Amino acid sequence: MQLSRKTFFSLTALLFGVTASGVNAQQKEAVKIPPTGKLESRAARVMDFSSLPDVAPEGTKVRTNPFRPTIPMSLYNRLKTTPPANSAGSGKTALGGINPLAATKIKLYEGLNQAQSADSGGTWAPSDCNGAVSPAYYVEITNAAVGVFTRGGTNKSIKPLSVFFGYTAQPLFDPHIKYDAVWGRWIVTATAFPEDADHMALCIAISTTSNPLGSYYQYRLNVAFHSNDF
């Protein structure tokens, strides 16, 4: 049987429409049920850094973890107590007699220490220290605190990480901070320990201006795949 041109294109369009709708349905289903677990975005929360309290509220969950190096502890202790062959006290030089150039200190000042990084009495080891710099500020973040410094080294403010994100259900860990020099925005992320089998928070904050002491848009995503390591 020979189809007319009009009938041929009508059938082709119908077939394409059925195929496309099937693909779209599969894509929508994939978005609804991610393979890694539930992904539920909550409404953005606007927070002002300067108005936050300096201490975490009573009852904030914290953990004190032992230090766990990525190499065997016996090897770690030996490396810490044995000077390298080309150290200053060994009498030898590196690179066949060429001494390395000394680093030039542009600015030296103290960042967050262990006491300042304690969140409701809890501390972390290692601290997962992370930092970012803008033309005017340096912001340092640890597993328990956020510190804002000027480029000159003046400490402007330190806030507990749980207070910064407004999240106290579980301890936060593995924080990261970046400064977007193009748009002049600070981007902060941190992960929390699982609340239960179906809830594990990934916290995200984005500043509304280039001032880290100002306001932030905050989001909390339920990632719920329990990796405990981002």
CA neighbours closer than 13 Å in the CB half-sphere of residue 55: 7
What pLDDT is stored for residue 86 in this prediction? 55
pLDDT, position 112: 85
Q: 46 vs 74, which has greater pLDDT? A: 74
**What per-residue confidence (pLDDT) applies to 67?**
61
Mean pLDDT of the residues in the chain: 72
Q: How much is the pLDDT for 16? A: 40
Burial label for 78, CB within 10 Å (0-12, 13-18, 19+), is: exposed
Mean local confidence (pLDDT), 54-81: 68
The confidence band for 58, taking pLDDT boundaries of 50, 70 and 90, is low
State both tokens at 87.
Answer: 């150290």
Q: Which residues are bridge partners to 2 per DSSP?
A: none
Res. 28: pLDDT tops 60: no
**What integer pLDDT is reported at residue 115 of this predicted model?**
76
Of the candidate ranges 26-40, 97-111, 136-150, 153-167, the one whose mean pLDDT is the lowest: 26-40
- Does residue 43 surpass a pLDDT of 70? no
Among 12-16, 29-33, 68-72, 178-182, name the one with the lowest average pLDDT: 29-33
pLDDT, tens only, 88-103: 554 555 455 566 777 7
CB atoms within 10 A of CB 192: 23
Q: Alpha-carbon distance 121 to 126, whole Å? A: 16
Q: Is the pLDDT of residue 122 over 50?
A: yes
- Per-range mean pLDDT, top range of 32-46, 114-128, 195-209: 195-209
pLDDT digits (tens, 9 = 90+) for 163-216: 999 998 888 888 999 999 999 999 999 998 888 888 888 999 999 999 999 999
pLDDT of 19 over the 60 cut = no
